[in-house]
Amino acid sequence: MASEPVTDTALRVLRRLETGPRGLTEAEAAARLAAVGENIPPRSRALSWPARWLRALRDPFTAVLLTLGLVSAFVASWGTAAVILALVAVSCVLRATGERRADRSLATLRHLVAGTATVLRRPDDTADPRVRELPVTDLVPGDVVRLAPGDLVPADIRLLRSRGLTVSQAVFTGESSPVSKAAADLPEPRAEDHLCFQGSVVTAGTATAVVVHTGARTRFAAAHPVPDHRVPSAFDRSVHGIARVLVRFMLLTPPLVLMAGAVLRGRGLETLPFAVAVAVGLTPEMLPVIVTTCLARGAAGLARTRQVVVRRLPALHDLGAVDVLCVDKTGTLTQDRPVAARSLGPDGHDDPEALHWAAVAAWWTLHLAELPTPDALDAALLDAAGPTGEEYDGLAALPVEPGRRLATTLVADPLGGRRLLITKGAAEDVLDRCDLPGGERRRLLARAGREAAAGRRVLAVAATELPHHPLYPGPGATGPRASLLTPADEHGLTFRGLVTFHDEPAPGAAESLRALTALGITVHVLTGDHPGTAARVCRDLGLEPGEVRTAADGTGPLPAGATTVVARCTPRDKADLVTALRAAGHTVGFLGDGVNDVPALLAADVGLAPRGAVPVARESADVVLAAKDLTAIGHAVVAGRRGSANIASYLRVTLSSNLGNVLAMLAAALLLPFLPMLPVQVLAQNLCFDAAQLAFAHDRPGAPALRRPTVLRPPALLRFITAFGVLNAVADLATFAVLALALRGPDALDDQAVFHSAWFTENLLTQALVMLLLRGGRHLAEGGRPGPVGWSAALLAAVGLALPPSPLGAALGMTALPAGYHLLLTAVLGVYAVTLVLARRRHDRRGTGRTDGHADGGTTGCTVAQSGKLHR
Ligand SMILES: Nc1ncnc2c1ncn2[C@@H]1O[C@H](COP(=O)(O)OP(=O)(O)OP(=O)(O)O)[C@@H](O)[C@H]1O
Ligand SMILES: [Mg+2]
């Protein structure tokens, strides 16, 4: 907006944009859309190929590989450098393809979660404007839009009218506290109070505004990409933790090899290519590809079959690790389509008065606050009371806001000239503002509690007559009067009764809660509503709360293992409870639909929003359910666990096998007068192994791996790979000891080419074995079809046997092996397989002891976290 004078009056802005307060006609809007293009915020544009590749290059493993490639090029080891470069290129391409595939599956669903804006448009020049919900992408300069709490500001706009408007501009300033905005007609120079920018969030109040800039011309688009303020998620903690340890190992390996070679064997810099190859051999270079492919496949599948939109791929991994899910009640477990059930007078008998006053207040709140759509409870009041409220003149309104559980309206009776202040809201809060003896207050609270315990939502209604005020000149006038009504006026009220509402459970809520419990997830309900209502809704959905408390009782961490209902939560309370659970070591999901859930959605490891959520909740969530049915959550959790289990399998297999190879190769390099393998052979076998490992992205882990939250814990994983890596190294060395003793004559192992080929074959065969025996969840002994990993292992073994005698093998410096070798190798591999199975059983049993009887595929490095019994 820099190019135009920001101090223009509203009228001048409208004129310049060739529009008016009644909005554009559809034809004008269509012409402008064609001229200026869609209103797409830059961050939601699909990434271009080069951008994707560049992003893939930022990965730590890729960076280390490139460094190693540079080192090889430096010593003119062109073969090694070329192979490393090829590895990096293949890994980047595979990764970018995987992400793109997931993006494409999501694109079909994106319209379901796309933001909409409330726009005034006219069918033609003569017609009256209509209020329409349009996709944000369709907005053009000149459109007149309406804003309400929870809306994302859809473009850069100039306010025309506003009421109590505050917006959070955290995306620009990083400052989350809301700032006030007002439609001042003669704005101060340089002040921006009358402007709102795309990406801001309406925290309170309402407004009508004209769109000034859209798409790439918004301030949001001009601003630099905003750093992500999120705290590190479960994914960051686990996968990145492992990556850090490994990168250090990789960087240490070449100098160590060089030094050992120099000291023990008097070798010089000529060992460098071998040292580099060994370091590359240690790298799980396919990790980024496997992670992306596992998660992208999971996300694409969820989008296709369950209408679940995963907006941030790592969130799917985190969802698999979630052991505590906090859910909001209204709008999430229930439909938030309340229907008024009863109206009770002050004496507790049916009495239409309470409903009447509440409906009058609702009618005038709706009109005075210019809410585009009435609040759900207000709509239910108006439905039940029929046309009411117009017989009064509305003077001012203070609507509900996040953290404020009541609404107040000031109306005037045109006949008697009385001014009436009506307050409705949560019983505790309304009764606090009534003049009541203590005993009476307790009795009324108990009555509200009884209604709530029947599962109904309860509003208390109170009113008072205000004395005449000179600044209220009478009906019809507008302007500063509204500011004369403040929360300080809400006191000394007379209790008028209670109105109760039914709210049906959301479709699939009960099944979904059952499924989540069966998946080992503890569900807590955090709500702004009455404890009685929340507890009853919970029970009706088949979830017996172990404890029901209100947020004011204390915000200490929630107990694990049993459902707790925390009622009367403010948005801050919800976020604090989530943060406390995370601090206690849980991986926490939060499912919520309203503005009051946004802080908690951002504080959780994974934020989830149901279909009907307000725009800002959807925007804050990592996972959006586009289906009506909540059962999609359970499926999403399983998809997350499947992806994580596959990643864990890959890490276990690759790392233990790589570590074993490296240890054996280093030992052999020091014992033998020649290198156990040529650098190019080390890289070739590494390449074969990498290709085979891609099968893990397509594996279906066994049922046990899906039964509990899967958390990758770096310490457990490192313990696992050390144990099995050493075992693998011992097996390699033992094989060669046996072979050296058994094979004599011209084909003996002291021939370098024979030795290299033997090592190559042995390596690929043991790796195939490790793939089958160390993968998670499903053990070979459990039978079942071989699946992608089985086929891939078989192929790897075949390559190991066929490559040395082939022409390609000869080009790599290998040769056919003597017949006796294969017989002996089979025997040694048999012994190794039995040892592996026994070692794994022992490891799993030890894991069982550590995880309170919930061992499964997860214990092998991917420790199972049973709800509340975490083992870090
Ligand atoms: N239109 C309204 N008028 C008066 N009071 C209201 C209105 N809407 C909500 N309230 C009061 O504010 C309370 C808190 O509302 P809030 O939006 O924080 O949570 P909720 O909708 O009850 O539940 P949840 O947090 O589960 O979505 C409600 O329980 C109700 O007592
Ligand atoms: Mg809600």
Residue span of the structural domain in which 207 resides: 10-36+115-223
Mean pLDDT within 177-198:
80
CA–CA separation, 37 and 853 (whole Å): 59
pTM here? 0.82
Same domain for 860 and 727, yes or no, is yes
Point out which residues pair with 180 in neighbouring strands: 166
- CATH code of the domain in which 813 resides: 1.20.1110.10
Name every residue whose Cβ is closer than 8 Å to that of residue 132 and which is 6 or more positions away in sequence: 118, 119, 120, 121
- Name the domain boundary from 449, 476, 505: 505
Mean pLDDT within 715-726:
87
Q: What is the pLDDT of residues 327-372, one digit of tens each?
A: 999 999 999 999 999 999 999 999 999 999 999 999 998 888 766 6
CB environment 31-47: b (16+ within 10 A), e (fewer) = ebbeebeebebeeeeee
Neighbours of 352 (CB within 10 A): 14
**Does a structural domain hold residue 192?**
yes
Same domain for 691 and 654, yes or no, is yes
**550 CA distance to ligand 2 centroid (A)?**
16
- Consecutive H or E run containing 168: strand 156-168
Ramachandran assignment for 299, one of left (phi > 0), alpha (psi -120 to 50 degrees), beta (any other):
alpha
Q: What is the pLDDT of residues 296-313, one digit of tens each?
A: 889 889 988 988 989 888
**Does a structural domain hold residue 299?**
no
**332 CA distance to ligand 2 centroid (A)?**
6
Is the pLDDT at 1 greater than 70? The verdict is: no
Neighbours of 387 (CB within 10 A): 9
**Does a structural domain hold residue 598?**
no
pLDDT on residue 228: 44
> CB of 334 within 8 A of CB of 505?
yes
Neighbours of 783 (CB within 10 A): 7
Q: What are phi and psi of 133, to 5 degrees?
A: -95, 110
Testing ligand 1's pocket by substitution, the residue of 203, 334, 377 carrying the most ligand atoms inside 8 A of its CB is 377
Domain count, the chain: 3
- Name the domain boundary from 472, 489, 505: 505
Retrieve residue 23's tokens: 């909005």
Same domain for 213 and 247, yes or no, is no
> CB of 253 within 8 A of CB of 278?
yes
**Does a structural domain hold residue 228?**
no
Q: What is the pLDDT of residues 80-101, one digit of tens each?
A: 788 888 888 888 888 788 777 7
- Single-letter amino acid code for the residue at 432: D
**Does a structural domain hold residue 741?**
yes
pLDDT on residue 505: 92
Same domain for 264 and 147, yes or no, is no
**Does a structural domain hold residue 822?**
yes
CB of residue 426 inside a 6 A radius of ligand 1? yes
CA–CA separation, 207 and 147 (whole Å): 5
Testing ligand 1's pocket by substitution, the residue of 406, 499, 500 carrying the most ligand atoms inside 8 A of its CB is 406
- Closest ligand (CA of 613): 2
CA–CA separation, 849 and 226 (whole Å): 46
Q: Whose CA is nearest to atom 8 of ligand 1?
A: 377
Retrieve residue 166's tokens: 């505050």
Q: What are phi and psi of 499, to 5 degrees?
A: -120, 130
> CB of 670 within 8 A of CB of 67?
no
Instruction: Specify the higher pLDDT residue, 315 or 258.
Output: 315
* Residue spans of alpha helices (H) in 604-631: 615-620
- CATH code of the domain in which 195 resides: 2.70.150.10
Neighbours of 177 (CB within 10 A): 10
Mean pLDDT within 696-724:
83
The catalytic residues are: 328
Same domain for 271 and 166, yes or no, is no
Same domain for 674 and 739, yes or no, is yes
- Closest ligand (CA of 374): 1
Retrieve residue 264's tokens: 């023990």
Pairing, β 494-502 against β 419-425: unpaired
Neighbours of 58 (CB within 10 A): 9
Retrieve residue 420's tokens: 């009436």
Q: What is the pLDDT of residues 130-163, one digit of tens each?
A: 999 888 889 999 999 999 888 888 899 999 998 8
Same domain for 828 and 790, yes or no, is yes
**Does a structural domain hold residue 621?**
no
Same domain for 275 and 168, yes or no, is no
Retrieve residue 666's tokens: 């280093």
pLDDT on residue 483: 52
- CATH code of the domain in which 355 resides: 3.40.1110.10
pLDDT on residue 74: 82
CA–CA separation, 685 and 688 (whole Å): 5
pLDDT on residue 774: 83
Q: Which residues surround ligand 2, an ion (CB under 5 A)?
A: 328, 330-331, 593-594
- Name the domain boundary from 486, 505, 524: 505
**Does a structural domain hold residue 135?**
yes
Same domain for 346 and 461, yes or no, is yes
Same domain for 698 and 654, yes or no, is yes
Q: What is the pLDDT of residues 476-518, one digit of tens each?
A: 444 444 456 888 889 999 999 999 999 999 989 999 999 999 9
CB of residue 459 inside a 6 A radius of ligand 1? yes
Where do the DSSP E strands lie in 2-112? 24-25
Q: What is the pLDDT of residues 246-256, one digit of tens each?
A: 788 778 888 88
Same domain for 217 and 256, yes or no, is no
Retrieve residue 852's tokens: 């309170």
Same domain for 176 and 274, yes or no, is no
> CB of 224 within 8 A of CB of 161?
no
